Amino acid sequence: MELAGEEDAFAAREAAAAATAVDVVAPGLATARGVDTERARQLAYTRRVVELVGSCDPDVEAARALVEAASIDRDGTVAVRARDVRALTGISTTDTERRVGSALVDRGFDVDLDDPDHELRVYFSDDTCLVGWTVAESVRDFSERKPTDRPFFQPGSMAPVDARAFVNMAGAEPGARILDPMCGTGGVLLEAGLVGADVVGVDAQAKMARGAKVNLDHYVGDGHVIRGDATALPLKDDSIDGVVFDAPYGRQSKIARHSLADLVGGALAEVHRVAPQCVMVADRSWVDEAEDAGWDVEQVFERRVHRSLVRYVHILRR
């Protein structure tokens, strides 16, 4: 799996939504088993899935020798695409494509660089080279949903690529029901809806609930958004499959009628009641409060957004 971004552990955690035994083997690269290619196309921090042919030393001739010796059961035209992941090896990708491509030509394949039937990927990273056939590529259309371009916008909206990663971690897929109890402008709901989940949004402000529904109607065409209190959700026990929410940032003493601590603690308790898993994003650690609400804290990622903001991504399970 060709990972995106600079945080491999985070990308691998999201990739586990579409595969098993995900293991980062070099910067920007992971191996996995049982990959669901349809779900992999919906990942935010995995660019591409390849069927591994083999690995070798990070050397052009070693890569060529690997392809010369490999068993290949494909017919049709081919193209070779090489990448020096994060520019860690300094190896010429042009030379790699030429030398490995010539090995395929020697084996009777025709090269088509524009529209090949099969694409062979050669990845160099750190002290390894992985070679494999492309089987799935993620749909990189996040720029089409920039928060500032949506029908309803408010400052502080989450980037679509991050919202997609969070909903994948929370189990979003066709047939799953995903809740955001502090939905704001609906960015999380959009990404969950676009991967096929049924979405439910709640927000304390009527303006935000209305705006989130406008955005949902525009991009997804379906979904439920209501005005409500995240600490007293109008939902039955175990009625939701996964939850994602972005807790209020800062140290405000009051938010609506709740203190910040009461709001987040109450929301954690309520989503524990209605769902078995949750991804909570915040500007600080809420581990103690999550455990007090009954959650097992599986993992916490600290992701730097800019100099004055670090997002804490809490992966919670019942």
pLDDT in tens, 15-74: 999 999 999 999 999 999 999 999 999 999 999 999 999 999 999 999 999 999 999 999
Percent of the chain with pLDDT over 70: 97
- Asked if residue 298 has pLDDT above 50, the reply is yes
Give the list of residues 6+ apart from residue 254 with CB closer than 8 angstroms, or none: 260
Render pLDDT for 107-129 as a digit per residue (tens, 0 to 9): 999 999 999 999 999 999 999 99
pTM for the complete prediction?
0.95
Out of 83, 112, 137, a domain closes at 137
Contact 146, 124 (CB under 8 A): no
Of 106, 207, 217, nearest to 153 by C-alpha is: 207
Tell me what pLDDT residue 249 has: 84
- Asked if residue 285 has pLDDT above 80, the reply is yes
Q: Report the alpha-carbon distance of residue 253 to residue 231 in Å, rounded.
A: 17
- Asked if residue 200 has pLDDT above 70, the reply is yes
Per-residue confidence band for 308, with pLDDT thresholds at 50, 70 and 90: confident
- How far, in Å, are 228, 258, 264, 309, 312 from residue 232 at the CA level? 8, 12, 12, 29, 24
Region 264-288: mean pLDDT is 97
Number of structural domains (the chain) is 2
Quick one: 26 and 59 in the same domain?
Answer: yes
Give the list of residues 6+ apart from residue 87 with CB closer than 8 angstroms, or none: none
The range of the structural domain enclosing residue 278 comes to 142-317
Quick one: 6 and 87 in the same domain?
Answer: yes
Quick one: 156 and 26 in the same domain?
Answer: no
Tell me what pLDDT residue 307 has: 82
Per-residue confidence band for 255, with pLDDT thresholds at 50, 70 and 90: low
Structure tokens at 210: 């209305």
Out of 111, 137, 163, a domain closes at 137
Per-residue confidence band for 257, with pLDDT thresholds at 50, 70 and 90: low
Quick one: 15 and 76 in the same domain?
Answer: yes
Quick one: 115 and 233 in the same domain?
Answer: no
String of b and e for 175-205 (b: at least 16 CB within 10 Å)?
Answer: ebbbbbbbbbbbbbbbbbbbbebbbbbbbbe
- Asked if residue 251 has pLDDT above 80, the reply is no
Quick one: 38 and 163 in the same domain?
Answer: no
Quick one: 113 and 165 in the same domain?
Answer: no
Domain with 234 in it: what CATH number?
A: 3.40.50.150
Quick one: 122 and 228 in the same domain?
Answer: no
Quick one: 184 and 277 in the same domain?
Answer: yes
Out of 107, 137, 167, a domain closes at 137
Percent of the chain with pLDDT over 90: 94
Strands 46-56 and 128-137: antiparallel
- Asked if residue 256 has pLDDT above 60, the reply is no
Quick one: 177 and 154 in the same domain?
Answer: yes
Quick one: 25 and 154 in the same domain?
Answer: no
Render pLDDT for 216-238 as a digit per residue (tens, 0 to 9): 999 999 999 999 999 999 999 99
Quick one: 122 and 42 in the same domain?
Answer: yes
Q: Report the alpha-carbon distance of residue 301 to residue 10 in Å, rounded.
A: 7
Domain with 119 in it: what CATH number?
A: 3.30.2130.30
Tell me the backbone φ, ψ of residue 237, rounded to 5 degrees: -55, 140
